[in-house]
Amino acid sequence: MKTLSVLAATLFALAIWQAIVTLTGLPKFILPGPALVAETWWQNRWLIAEHTWITAIEVLIGLACGTVLGVVTALQLANSRAARVLVQPMLVFTQALPVFALAPLLTLWLGYGLWSKVAMAVLIIYFPITSSFFDGLMRTPPGYLDLARTMQASPRSVLWHIRIPAALPSLASGMRLAAVYAPIGAVIGEWVGSSQGLGYLMLLANGRAKTDLMFAAMLTLGVFSILLHLVVRRATARMAGEAR
């Protein structure tokens, strides 16, 4: 039933797209139709696949690094009042900074290669993961903690056997958000400075007025993001289920 819903929504969106193209009569270099985009995608499938592979590597490494960094930070915040006083306001402040403003600096510091894009992906997912996992750690059911105190459990045992398992559903929620945001961070890094990746391909196609190729690359990025979200969602749902 869910597959049929997705298929119906896709067909509906394509119908609206084609209707706009037909009714407005816009030139192809401004708004190409879905058939032209599909034809362009097929003709350039190997080129798009090559750039998709580069973006996928950047996203996956960024997602893994951002998750580890977010988990470690959340644990430190949960275990240290000093860390909450000193670090938590800095985390909030980082979200007030426009990501586009930081991308040129990361490119300057880390170069035009892989790691500036990974850093952008980490930067954009770091706060959601840290915040969600930290909230889960701080909202451990009081009954569990009362039972641990009755059993005279050590703080380390409480953390590993009670607080972390209870916070896994919150971490799963943050990771699902991160799976959507990570491709955005990688593509922003590619826009600022790169010679590979879907973001670079979109800029290149736009500069040469190949709007159909730009749409093909953009839709490929969208499909990749959806698939990544589904994979992470299934993995985290299993993780959260085991925590219960």
The string of pLDDT tens digits covering residues 182-206 is: 999 899 989 888 889 999 999 999 8
Statement: residue 243 has pLDDT above 60: no
Domain assignment present for 56: yes
Greater model confidence, 33 or 244: 33
Provide mean pLDDT across the span 41-45: 94
Domain assignment present for 13: no
d(CA 117, CA 124): 11
Domain assignment present for 35: no
Domain assignment present for 20: no
Please give the residue range of the domain that contains residue 133: 48-243
Statement: residue 142 has pLDDT above 90: no
Provide mean pLDDT across the span 76-95: 82
pLDDT at res. 73: 92
d(CA 20, CA 47): 28
Domain assignment present for 31: no
Statement: residue 57 has pLDDT above 80: yes
pLDDT at res. 240: 59
pLDDT at res. 26: 81
Domain count, the chain: 1
Domain assignment present for 24: no
HSE-up of residue 136 (Cα within 13 Å, Cβ side): 26
d(CA 215, CA 193): 20
Domain assignment present for 2: no
Q: Buried b / exposed e across 74-107, counting CB within 10 Å, b at 16+?
A: bbebbeeeeeeeeeeeebeeeeeeebeebbeebb
Say what percent of the chain tops pLDDT 70.
95
In the predicted model, what is the mean pLDDT of the chain? 86
Residues 9-21 have pLDDT tens digits of: 888 888 898 888 8
pLDDT at res. 70: 93
Domain assignment present for 8: no
**Contact status, residue 216 vs residue 41, Cβ threshold 8 Å:** yes
- Structure tokens belonging to residue 19: 């209707």
For residue 120, what is the domain's CATH number? 1.10.3720.10
pLDDT at res. 221: 94
d(CA 133, CA 77): 10
Provide mean pLDDT across the span 70-84: 88
